[in-house]
Amino acid sequence: DIQMTQSPSSLSASVGDRVIITCRASQVIRNDLGWYQQRPGKAPRRLIHTASTLQDGVPSRFSGSGSGTEFTLTINSLQPDDFATYYCLQYNSYPLTFGGGTKVEVK
Amino acid sequence: EVELVESGGGLVQPGESLRLSCAVSGFHFGSFWMTWVRQAPGKGLEWVANIKQDGGQTYYVDSVKGRFTISRDNANNLLYLQMHSLRVEDTAIYYCARQTTVTLWGQGTLVTVSS
C-alpha cells in the first residue's frame, strides 16, 4: 500500500499569511494526487487534482505542485474561509490512500 | 444541479448489517466510477470502496473485504454499500463520491456501531 505522509498535522496562521502543506508518498505516484478542504461539520470538497490543476470555482490563492513522491499545497494570503482541515489523496493505485490531514487554525 | 444524497445510516449493534444508499442527480451516473469514503469521529478520511461504471470491477480497503459490498443501479441512479458483520471500528460518517479521483461528495450518513 502507498502511505501518504502529510505535514504538518496542524499549524497556526493569520489572515494574509502564506501556508504550505506537504504530502510525501511512499512510492512514485506520478501526479495522481488531489487536495481536499474540509470545514468543520461539512463534507470535503476538492481543491486541486492531478497535483496542480485547480478545480473550477476554487480561488486562485490555492495552488498545488509536485510530482513523483513530493507534493505541496500552497495557500497565498490566507482568508477567514480557509481555516479548515486539508487532506491529500493518492489515486495512483489501490487501495487509495489519504494523508493524515493538516488542520489550519487561527493564530 | 449535481447532487449526491446518502441515506441508510443509523445505530446498530456489533455483528449486525446495514445497507447505505446514495441517490445521484444532475449528471449521467452510469458514466462514472463511484466511491465510498468514510470518516470516523474526529479522525481523518479513509477510502472504502470503488465500483466501475458497469459494476464489473470493484475494489475495497482490506479492513472491509469480505464484509462490505459496493453495488449500483444505473437505471435508478443509485449507489449502495451493503455492510455485514459490522464492528465498532466501522463507526463513521460514510460519504459517497463521484469518480475514483473523488471529485464531488455527498453530505454523508452516520453509521454508529455500538452495543
Is A98 in contact with B59 (Cβ distance < 8 A)? Answer: no
Q: Which residues in chain A come in under a pLDDT of 70?
A: none
Taking a C-beta distance cutoff of 8 angstroms, is the pair B105, A37 a contact? no
The whole-number pLDDT of residue B100 equals 87
Is A89 in contact with B102 (Cβ distance < 8 A)? Answer: yes
Q: For B39-58, write each residue's pLDDT tens digit.
A: 999 999 999 999 999 999 99
Q: What angle do CA B72, A49, A72 make, to 5 degrees?
A: 135
The whole-number pLDDT of residue B23 equals 98
- Residue contacts between A and B (CB atoms, under 8 Å): 50
Is B47 in contact with A95 (Cβ distance < 8 A)? Answer: yes
Question: A34 touching B, CB under 8 A?
Answer: yes
Query: B99 CB contacts (<8 Å, ≥6 apart)?
Result: B32, B33, B34, B35
How is residue A48 written as a grid cell?
486541486
Q: How many CB atoms lie within 10 A of CB A95?
A: 18
Taking a C-beta distance cutoff of 8 angstroms, is the pair A70, A22 a contact? yes
C-alpha–C-alpha distance, residues A15 and A76, integer Å: 10
Identify residue A25 by its one-letter amino acid code.
A
The whole-number pLDDT of residue B62 equals 98
Q: How many CB atoms lie within 10 A of CB A42?
A: 12
Strand A70-75 relative to strand A4-7, pairing: unpaired
The whole-number pLDDT of residue A18 equals 98
Question: A44 touching B, CB under 8 A?
Answer: yes
Taking a C-beta distance cutoff of 8 angstroms, is the pair B5, B96 a contact? no
Question: A7 touching B, CB under 8 A?
Answer: no
Q: For B79-101, write each residue's pLDDT tens digit.
A: 999 999 999 999 999 999 999 88
C-alpha–C-alpha distance, residues A99 and B106, integer Å: 20
C-alpha–C-alpha distance, residues A16 and B96, integer Å: 34
Residue in B1, B32, B100, B102 to test binding to A, most A beta-carbons within 10 Å: B102
Is the pLDDT assigned to residue B28 strictly greater than 90? yes
The whole-number pLDDT of residue A101 equals 98
